[in-house]
Amino acid sequence: MIDRQELELLADALETLERGSASLPAFAPSFDAAAVAGVMAEVAERMQDNYPYFHPQYAGQMLKPPHPVARIAYALSLWVNPNNHALDGSRASSPMEKECVARLGAMFGWDAPLGHLAGGGTMANLEALWVSGKLAPGKKVVASSMAHYTHGRISDVLQIPFAAVAVDDRGRMDTAALEEALAGGDVGTVVATIGTTGLGSVDPLHEILELRERYGFRVHADAAYGGYFTLATGIDDASRAAFDALPAVDSIVIDPHKHGLQPYGCGCVLFRDPAVGGLYKHDSPYTYFSSDELHLGEIALECSRPGAAAVALWATHRLLPPEPGGEFAAGLDACLRAARALWRALEGSTGFTPLLEPALDIVTYAANGPTSSAVSARAQRVFDEAARRELHLALIDLPTDFVRRHAPQIEADSGTTTCLRSVLMKPEQEDWVERITALLEASAA
């Protein structure tokens, strides 16, 4: 878990940082080292009460360990503690953030998007829908029934009407159902999910954009989870068509703290048309400026934001550029291979029925049982037994009619069915699929 080299690299980097202040009169804040040591020992003890998120046998929720360069850069920046709201609070880290935004935009074919980092996908999606509401006042936001629940909640906060659209057998937005919703003429924004958090499904964005030509609406791509997979080579044809259509959407959200190897929280919102920045205009008498250059606080709903997130992401981009064919992209393909290998292994299982073949790196599977309630109960038992064996999974409640599309042998006696879910988002897990499968089968037995 701890590589001492990281601590040595941090110490070296801190010495370099300190030399930048050598001209100042000597000053060092005082603190009680013994008292701090006692508190930190207690903190370390408390923090032992966690799942081993860093380990390949943690195959549960979407928790990917930050890259060492991101950890070191984030920690280094805390000695400065920059605030990326205004330039005079972040002379180094604000320009770094702008470079990161440009790099992320380039992944989707955008040369000069407007955007900034945010605390995560929720805040980033809130900004995208806030802009949509300003540009299409009174009109509805629609997303698939498998989209993240925050879209409905954000719409409620913004007092924008919201509706969910049915999904197909692959958990993707059903475009026929979408067209029915569009027929009323009251839809202002369609949210296309590029990697649902439950199933990893990719909405058919290319088909949604064809409907835009006929009905006229904004398209927001929630690519918080799946956005980085645009760099992968192993994407199936249907998903690739959706990724290739991303340059035509109006806004995109991506979360570097998921597949971007960053610490929490680091999300990003991007707008294709920089003119939407005019919607953020404010005239605050207490905002301080030291430059005439546009600062990030002028194009964000959040005010104070950690410059540390920008420093960590910039360092990661410097070491592992998010480009096709590079080391970073190869790690995404390894995750895809791991998920498909686990799905294939479960196809021959007597204890489990895998559901839809994974589009990304999320595998969902039912623990075999005669009825939906029995399947749910067994899933909980497998979850507990697997944890006892140090294999950590996740549970997901799905509509029973959706589960039965892939496991018709299950008799429906409940509206929802609890299934098991594994997110294989660590490239190293490709080498652990056989062990993970063996532990699953042992837990089911």
CATH code of the domain covering residue 276: 3.40.640.10
Q: Residue 29 has what pLDDT?
A: 87
- Mean pLDDT score across all residues of the chain: 95
Q: Residue 128 has what pLDDT?
A: 97
What phi and psi, each to the nearest 5 degrees, are found at residue 363? -115, 125
Q: Residue 281 has what pLDDT?
A: 77
Indicate whether 372 and 287 sit together in one domain. no
Indicate whether 131 and 199 sit together in one domain. yes
Indicate whether 302 and 338 sit together in one domain. no
Q: For residue range 84-115, list pLDDT tens digits in order.
A: 888 888 889 999 999 999 999 999 999 999 99
Give strand ranges (E) for 357-415: 362-367, 394-399
Indicate whether 349 and 312 sit together in one domain. no
Indicate whether 247 and 188 sit together in one domain. yes
Beta carbons of 401 and 414 less than 8 angstroms apart: no
Helix/strand/coil for 190: strand
Q: Residue 418 has what pLDDT?
A: 98
**Residue 195 vs residues 6, 115, 259, 377: alpha-carbon distances, Å:** 32, 21, 12, 28
Q: For residue range 103-160, list pLDDT tens digits in order.
A: 999 999 999 999 999 999 999 999 999 999 999 999 999 999 999 999 999 999 999 9
Pick from 296, 319, 342: which residue ends a domain?
Answer: 319
Task: Report the alpha-carbon angle 267-272-276, nearest 5.
Answer: 90
Provide the pairing of β-strand 267-271 with 251-254: antiparallel
Q: Is the pLDDT of residue 54 over 80?
A: yes
CA within 13 Å, CB half, 428 = 8
Residues 6+ apart with CB under 8 A from 262: 66, 67, 70, 256, 309, 312, 313, 316
Indicate whether 268 and 180 sit together in one domain. yes
DSSP string spanning 310-344?
HHHHHHHHHHS---TTSHHHHHHHHHHHHHHHHHH
Q: What is the number of structural domains in the chain? A: 2
Phi-psi region of 366 (alpha: psi -120 to 50; beta: other; left: phi over 0): beta
Indicate whether 297 and 230 sit together in one domain. yes
What phi and psi, each to the nearest 5 degrees, are found at residue 251? -150, 155
- pTM confidence score: 0.95
For residue 363, which of 51, 65, 62, 122 has the smallest C-alpha distance?
Answer: 62
Q: Residue 428 has what pLDDT?
A: 97
Q: Is the pLDDT of residue 417 over 90?
A: yes
Q: Residue 1 has what pLDDT?
A: 82
Q: Is the pLDDT of residue 292 over 80?
A: no
35 falls within a domain: no
Pick from 319, 343, 371: which residue ends a domain?
Answer: 319
Q: For residue range 340-393, list pLDDT tens digits in order.
A: 999 999 999 999 999 999 999 999 999 999 999 999 999 999 999 999 999 999
Q: Is the pLDDT of residue 398 over 50?
A: yes
Q: For residue range 302-330, list pLDDT tens digits in order.
A: 889 999 999 999 999 999 999 999 999 99
Query: Can you give the CATH number for the domain in which 397 is found?
Result: 3.90.1150.10
Indicate whether 161 and 294 sit together in one domain. yes
Indicate whether 189 and 278 sit together in one domain. yes
Pick from 293, 319, 345: which residue ends a domain?
Answer: 319
Among 33-42, 54-63, 263-272, 290-299, whose mean pLDDT is lowest?
Answer: 290-299
371 falls within a domain: yes
DSSP H helical segments within 216-305, as ranges?
A: 237-244
Beta carbons of 299 and 114 less than 8 angstroms apart: yes
Q: Residue 289 has what pLDDT?
A: 46
Q: For residue range 167-186, list pLDDT tens digits in order.
A: 999 999 999 999 999 999 99
The better pLDDT of the pair 338, 295 is held by 338
User: What is the span of the domain harbouring residue 210?
Assistant: 87-319
273 falls within a domain: yes
Q: Is the pLDDT of residue 235 over 70?
A: yes
Residues 6+ apart with CB under 8 A from 14: 76, 79
Indicate whether 189 and 338 sit together in one domain. no
Beta carbons of 414 and 400 less than 8 angstroms apart: yes
- Tell me which H or E stretch contains 423: strand 416-423
* Residue 142 bridge partners (DSSP): 163, 190
| Residue tagged 């954009």 (tokens) | 209
Q: Is the pLDDT of residue 23 over 60?
A: yes
The two three-digit tokens of residue 55, written as one number? 């380990």
Q: Residue 154 has what pLDDT?
A: 97
Cα(431)–Cα(335) distance, rounded to whole angstroms?
10
Indicate whether 110 and 249 sit together in one domain. yes
pLDDT bracket for residue 282 (50, 70, 90): low
Indicate whether 295 and 342 sit together in one domain. no
266 falls within a domain: yes
